[in-house]
Structure formats: structure tokens, C-alpha cells
A and B are shown apart, each in its own frame.
Chain A
Amino acid sequence: MTDCAGPGTGARPVASDLPDLGVGVGWRPEIAGVVADLPNLRFCEVVAEGIHTHVPLSGPLATLRERGVTLVPHGVRLSLGGAEPVSPERVKHLADCAALLGAPLVSEHIAFVRAGDLEAGHLLPVPRTRAAVDALAANYVRTVEGLGGVPLALEPIAALFDWPDDEYDEADFLTAVLDRTGALLLLDVANVYANARNRGQDPVALLDRLPLERVAYVHVAGGREHEGLYHDTHTDAVPQEVLELVTALAERATPAGWLLERDGDYPPADVLRAELAAITTAVGAGTRAAGAR
């Protein structure tokens, strides 16, 4: 049960099957104008819970799709890592989002957001245990079955604390989840940085222990230090250390795309464009270093 896909997962999606997506940005209504004006934009993520699937696509998202921009629904409230089965309605919504946007894949988190009758309002870490791998694998199968062939990429989260009953370290846990499910990986380098920094570990050492050939695309985001801990806020600038991790990852893998996530305190358009350019530069540096070897 540890290294074979469970029933219902079908053929394992392959990251290299994805089109070259370049450097994209998480689409949010507040920055729709800036995003619409980005030249050479090839992909955006759209938060799935904000998409209305009962009406045809309209407005700025429809314009992006007409331009050929790849749109990827990104779920935040499925609770794949919850002990309870995922809600069929939420799975159907993800499938409807994928159909509406013509998406080549969808993504969600290795996390839980509710338990019992309480909503956490945020992504929470699961214990890194065999029981949690079982729960994730079962919910992955339920979700993929509802997605009707659209691949689901899984994103590890940033967390400020670990569970006391962890049986795996982070790299072994993620490898176990990916081996078991056959899922693609949505790797957030800011989360890798945040977790490593808050545990006093080397983020590059974690990268080197992950199955990087399964990375579909990458998240890049900003954060800040608060009372001695690094918080993955998505409301601050991308720190230099995270850009360096972008370069380190580009030296080691060839993800289909790189995506800047910003979720508030939106900067002026030129600052956002400069952050995207900095990501492009960081990716290029890694790709060149890999080519020179």
C-alpha cells in the first residue's frame, strides 16, 4: 500500500506533458486590470471558490481565456487532508471550474481546513503520519474520480508548528504522499523557505530530497518576519532568499511554470511587474547554471 497508486487514480499524470507556461500570476479581482495589461502572460491561477460556474465565463477572465492564457483553478477549501471524506459538491465545483476555464490541471493543498463542525478559515498542516497519508490518498482518489481526467496537483503548505506525533519528516512525508497518489506536485518555494527557516533547516537540502520530476508548476510569494517567525503572508514583497530558492529549483528541475501569488496589500502595477521580472531573472539564472553543467 505504500508505493502503488490506489484504485481509481488511473494513469499517473506526467509533469512534462504540460505546456510551457512561463511566469504567471495568481489572478485576483483586485489586480485584474494589472494582469490584463501584462504582455506575454501565458498563465494565471484563479481561486476556485471565487468562480461562478453556473454562468458562462465573462469579463476579464473570459478575455484572458480568449487570448490563450492558461487558467488553472486553485482550490483552497476542499480539505484534502481532513479525516472526513471531501465534499462531493466541492469536488464537482472544482470539476466545473476546470471545464469552464478549459484548464489542463487543477490544484489543491496538502492540508485540512475544517474538522468536526468548525471551519479554521485557513490551511492547516496534517500530522505527518501513515494515517494522514491514508486519509489524503482516499480524498485524492475521491477528487480525481470527480475531475474526470483533469490532473490534480498537490501543494504542500507553510506551517508555523508541527504535530507531536509526526512519523515522517517533511521530505519523506511528501514523497510518501506523491508515491501513494501518483499526484503532480505544486511546489511553493516560499513555503519551503518558510518551513525550513522556522525549523532552522536548509531549504535547498529539502529541495534535494523531493521528487522534483513531479513538479507541475511552482508558487512564489512574499512574507515577513513577525516575532521571530517567518510568516508566509502573500501580502509582502518576495524576499531575496525566496528568489534564490527559485534559482536553486530551476537548476534542479524544469517546471512548466512559475506563478507569483499575492493576496492583499496589492502594490502598484510597476512593483508587481518588477516582481514578475525578478522571478523571470531568477528562473533564467538557474536554467543557465543547469545548462552550463
Chain B
Amino acid sequence: MSDPAAESTAPQGSARGDDTAAARPGADPAARLAVAQAALVAALVAGGPLPDGFDAGRVDAARRALLRKRAGEVARAWPLLAGGLGTAFTPRFVQWAARRPPAGSFADGLAFAQQLRDKGELPPLAVEELAQRERPAPSVRRRIWPFKRR
């Protein structure tokens, strides 16, 4: 949006909202698609601005649905954390995750739990779950090698 030339010459409704050369009308369509997709993902998961032309209400509904789905996945991966927070889990997680791109349910749950602990808000039920998962994993190679040998 900071490049007025791109803004004024872009055709009606095209993928704008970006100031890189790839977003300009003359650019390669594949490069423009890449820029437009990146801007949309940033708006959905990283707190980026809504690209021009999209229905703000619909994209926001999708953004919030993604956060709820992500909360459900983290709750399944971190059952004691989710159980310890109870009905507060989803709203607290959604608030934490809103501007943080998903890193996978294990990593998301780990970072969320660590932040709760730092603030002194980790529920007692989740303390051991977090501690266990912060310990270095036993050597996978040593553990499964005898069974893999053929």
C-alpha cells in the first residue's frame, strides 16, 4: 500500500495491498499470485493487514475459525494444559495465538505454556506435562535401533 504507482495502476479488484514489484500489474502472474497468497496468509495468521478487495467480515470469520481449530489441536496435544485451564483454555490460547503464526500444535502448546509459567499462571495440573516435555528426549536411535535391525 505504500507504493502509490502500484495502487493507482492496478486493475479493479486485482491482488494489491503490497508494495513489491511482483505485485504490479505488469509482473509475471505466478509472481503476483505468490505475493497475493503471502499477503492473505499474513493477514490470517500473523496479524498482517487485510489485502485490498477482500470482504473484511468474511476473512475475519475465517481467521477466527482458524484460531479455534488451532486451539482444538493444541488442546489435543496438551491435554493437561487444556484440562487445567478448563473453559478458559480456548479464549486464552486464541488471545495468545492471534498474531503468532502456527508452529505446529506441540510447539504452539510449549510456547503458550512457557508464557503462562513466566506469568505465574500455569495451572498446577499442567506443571508436570510441561516439565516432562522440556526434558531432553532420550536418544531415539538407541531406543529403536534393536527393533529396526533386519
Contact = CB atoms under 8 A, between A and B. Distances in A.
Contacts of B15: 127, 163-165
B7 interface: no
Contact of A127 (B36, B70, B72): B36
B69 A132 contact: no
Interface string A223-256: 0001101010001000000000000000000000
A160 B62 contact: yes
B61 A229 contact: yes
A127 B102 CA distance: 23
B41 A124 contact: yes
Interface string B9-22: 00001110000000
B94 interface: no
A83 B33 contact: yes
A128 to B, nearest CB: 12
Contacts of A227: 61
A116 B41 contact: yes
A220 B89 CA distance: 30
B108 to A, nearest CB: 9
Interface in B40-65: 40-42, 44-46, 52-55, 58-59, 61-62, 65
Given A115-B38, A121-B45, A227-B61, A134 B69 contact: no
Interface in A159-179: 159-165
Interface residues of A, number: 35
A8 interface: no
Given A115-B40, A264-B72, A163 B34 contact: no
A55 B150 CA distance: 11
B66 interface: yes
A14 to B, nearest CB: 31
B37 A112 contact: yes
Contacts of A161: 54-55, 58-59, 61-62
Given A160-B61, A161-B58, A120 B66 contact: yes
14 contacts: A83-B31, A116-B38, A118-B41, A118-B45, A119-B45, A121-B69, A122-B66, A131-B30, A134-B30, A163-B15, A164-B54, A165-B13, A229-B58, A235-B72
Interface of A: 55, 82-84, 112, 114-116, 118-122, 124, 126-127, 129-132, 134-135, 159-165, 226-227, 229, 231, 235, 264
